[in-house]
Amino acid sequence: MHKTKKRILLIGGGFAGLNFARQLYRSRDYEVTLVDKNNYNYFTPLLYQVATSFLEPASISYPFRKLLRKKSVKFRMGAVVKADPVQHTVTLNDGAVLAYDYLVFAAGTKTNFFENESARRHAFPLKGIDDALFMRNELIRGLERASIETNPVLRKRMLTTVIAGGGPTGVEMAGMLAELRKFMLRKDYPEIDPQETAIYIVDASPNLLAPMSDKSHERAYRTLEKLGIIIKLNTRVLKFEYGQVHLSTGEVIGAHSLIWATGVTAEVFDGVAPQALGRGNRMITDAVGRVQGYEDVFAIGDISIQLTDKAFPNGHPQLAQPAIQQGKTLGRNFKRLARGKPMQPFKYFDRGEMAIIGRRTAMADLFKHRLHVGGILGLFSWLFIHIASLVNYNNMIRTFYSWLVAYSTRDQVLRMIFRSESQDHRS
């Protein structure tokens, strides 16, 4: 007699979702449907390199339907607008209603503007490929305008960029912009003196790369200073309007661009009980990933917060590695469930954190900060781990080739503005 497969709806195809799906690629027990608002997976840690013209989008993204070809996992493009745990259904933005036996949320996070409305309206977030391409267009457009601007005040403003956030994204973005200023500006824009440009990085904490070790704090600060980055610590961005960034210290910076890299909050779905949400709107889960108050709803990755791991009493960090490991563990647990075995609790193995600044400086704090790696070894570690983490060989080859060209020539050919005039809403 043919066994009826249990239906799993998987919401989100990022690090957590895709690694969950991989465990059940050819399952005889489950029918998995992956739902995502995009029709492609993308590698979040390298979005800033797309935004700064070092990588093309295809280097860090890959279509779900090709990725899932012959894998017995269905794909449905759409955004979830409502979940109904009582009826075991999910409603999508196109009106479709999908039924499930198990619901797995892996939808990740969105930018947190901390109720800063002016930043929400005018700053550049960096959470997806669309954000990265829009930012790339605007940064290049700012240079084009500055190259013909004769008013020195307006010209200075056009050539000034402020980055809010001193975590890995902010630090790596600052380093990449400094590289562009140093090696590309004179070549492409002889009308602009690099000394006219300014790059600020602003963070509310006392250190750059706050979660990392003191050695990384010091190395990041020293490296960015050498690259000419102006660093403002213990400082918040209060407002960004009319080309002016207002800081908590009272200082006002005239700037064309404010890049917002200072926080995330989890996606919230109608139908999920408020009491199931914890800090940052993350879904509170038990040790196996089951959402608090539900028997057949699970959450993994950045959208979840597990408070049962004694090593991480405030929840696991919202990074790629916890998401990857949670996805794999929950996938294996569903296999165990199908065999009548109990699920095993998730235990995070902390491999460490990494950051790169420019072309030559990288740092890694490995194994809970027990080992700090810098210099050329840190650089090659960063390169290897990011290449190995890409979703398939096509992405690996594209990215490695782009990095090789950029490193050897100190130049890239991606500084082009591609846009749809009907969608181009910034003046």
Residues 144-177 pLDDT 10s: 999 999 999 999 999 999 999 999 999 999 999 9
Considering 338, 366, 386, which residue would you say is the last residue of a domain? 338
- 330-342 residue pLDDT tens: 999 999 999 999 9
The residue that leads in pLDDT, 101 or 373, is: 101
**Whether residue 216 is found in the same domain as residue 296:** no
- Whether the CB-CB separation of 264 and 111 falls below 8 Å is answered with yes
Q: pLDDT band at 389, cuts 50/70/90? A: confident
Among the ranges given (45-49, 52-56, 383-387), the one the predictor scored with the smallest mean pLDDT = 383-387
Asked if residue 273 has pLDDT above 50, the reply is yes
**Whether residue 29 is found in the same domain as residue 105:** yes
Asked if residue 344 has pLDDT above 50, the reply is yes
pLDDT (average), residues 38-67: 93
- 70-99 residue pLDDT tens: 898 999 999 999 999 999 999 999 999 999
Residue 407 to residue 409: CA distance in whole angstroms: 6
pTM to 2 decimal places: 0.91
**Whether residue 385 is found in the same domain as residue 400:** yes
Asked if residue 359 has pLDDT above 90, the reply is no
User: What value does the CA radius of gyration of the chain take, rounded to a whole number of Å?
Assistant: 22
CATH number at residue 223: 3.50.50.100
The Cα-based distances of 42 to 57, 390, 401 in angstroms read 8, 9, 18
**Whether residue 174 is found in the same domain as residue 95:** no
**Whether residue 357 is found in the same domain as residue 371:** yes
The pLDDT score that the predictor gives to residue 425 is 45
pLDDT (average), residues 419-427: 48
Among the ranges given (222-231, 291-300, 373-382), the one the predictor scored with the smallest mean pLDDT = 373-382
The pLDDT score that the predictor gives to residue 105 is 98
Q: pLDDT band at 412, cuts 50/70/90? A: low
**Whether residue 170 is found in the same domain as residue 252:** yes
**Whether residue 189 is found in the same domain as residue 301:** no
Mean confidence (pLDDT) of the chain? 91
Strands 6-11 and 102-105, sheet pairing: parallel
The pLDDT score that the predictor gives to residue 422 is 44
Q: Is residue 52 part of a domain?
A: no
Q: Is residue 174 part of a domain?
A: yes
Q: pLDDT band at 415, cuts 50/70/90? A: low
- 189-200 residue pLDDT tens: 999 999 999 999
Q: Is residue 427 part of a domain?
A: no
The pLDDT score that the predictor gives to residue 427 is 41
Q: Is residue 83 part of a domain?
A: yes
**Whether residue 357 is found in the same domain as residue 329:** no
- Sheet containing 252-254: order of strands: 237-241, 244-247, 252-254
**Whether residue 269 is found in the same domain as residue 258:** no
Residue 78 to residue 93: CA distance in whole angstroms: 6
Q: Is residue 296 part of a domain?
A: yes
The Cα-based distances of 176 to 55, 181, 349, 353, 421 in angstroms read 12, 9, 30, 19, 28
Asked if residue 371 has pLDDT above 90, the reply is no
CATH number at residue 30: 3.50.50.60
- Identify the domain containing residue 322 by its residue range: 6-37+78-111+265-338
Q: What is the number of other CB atoms lying within 10 angstroms of the CB of residue 128?
A: 18
- 206-244 residue pLDDT tens: 999 998 888 899 999 999 999 999 999 999 999 999 999
Q: Is residue 51 part of a domain?
A: no
**Whether residue 146 is found in the same domain as residue 186:** yes
Q: pLDDT band at 1, cuts 50/70/90? A: very low
Structural domains of the chain, count: 2
The pLDDT score that the predictor gives to residue 400 is 81
Considering 315, 338, 361, which residue would you say is the last residue of a domain? 338
Q: Is residue 307 part of a domain?
A: yes
Among the ranges given (190-204, 209-223, 263-277, 284-298), the one the predictor scored with the smallest mean pLDDT = 209-223
The Cα-based distances of 307 to 91, 263, 304, 403 in angstroms read 29, 20, 10, 39
Q: Is residue 58 part of a domain?
A: no
Q: pLDDT band at 386, cuts 50/70/90? A: confident
**Whether residue 273 is found in the same domain as residue 391:** no
Asked if residue 112 has pLDDT above 60, the reply is yes
**Whether residue 214 is found in the same domain as residue 303:** no
Q: pLDDT band at 278, cuts 50/70/90? A: very high
